[in-house]
Amino acid sequence: TLHLNEVGGHPENSRTLEASVNDGGTVDARGSGTRVAVSGKAIFPAGVSAEMSGQVVLADAGGRNRGTQLEKDGTFAFPAVRPGTYRVTVNMQDQKSYASRVAANGAKTNGREVTIASGENVNLTIAMGLGFGQVMGFAKHDGKPTAGVMVILVPESGQNMEEDTRMDQSDSDGTFALARIIPGKYVLMAIANGWDLEWARPGVLTPYLAKGQVLQIGANEKKEVTVAVQG
């Protein structure tokens, strides 16, 4: 295994190459460091200025983040990005604005994820949202408040699961509170012994979704609900 680093490059640009070399053999690493330029613009809702400090972040499956400054006109640029799939987030100083949707030319998107291939430069358009929702209420079993259950709110679409899912444990009086919810359509569930579930794995929550509550949550909206405990 070879660990290669570009001359004068940042450690984040290092790459690993698996190779088997016989006596007198050579390793051709050309092309293994392909990069593409990624640029774009964040579009803010009417009445919201992009002039406050912000940063666009690309996060890969390995947990490595790359950030770049969001300019006052909403534009941004990453000069050299390795092909792969990235989660796109925008961190704003006001902590009330967020990336709502992502569209791309030169790449494929799924929710707020973008998959970049080698060769073609990419242009992203990030639609920004403003204002989070809240959900609070009671977890009950047979009409009685239930303590210690996992209350979980997941996107109905199945997209952006790890980023948009919200969880809480019901208190002694059965109450729970979920905050900073990005507006959209969700399913709310209360699951006894749910903390043992690997909820982020595909299919794990499927048996519970049918009995969950479907909620449409808007910006700055507060919902109060009662959710039945499953399991």
**pLDDT tens digits for 198-216?**
998 889 999 999 999 999 9
Listed as ranges, residues in the chain with pLDDT below 70 are 1-33, 47-52
For residue 11, what pLDDT is reported? 45
- pTM of whole model > 0.75? yes
CA pair distance 125, 63, nearest whole angstrom: 23
**pLDDT tens digits for 95-112?**
788 999 999 999 999 989
CA-CA distances (angstroms) from residue 118 to 16, 17, 37, 55, 144? 17, 17, 10, 24, 56
CA-CA distances (angstroms) from residue 39 to 2, 42, 81, 107? 31, 10, 10, 12
For residue 126, what pLDDT is reported? 96
Buried b (16+ CB within 10 A) or exposed e, 179-204: eebbbbebbbbbbeebeeeebeeeee
For residue 22, what pLDDT is reported? 54
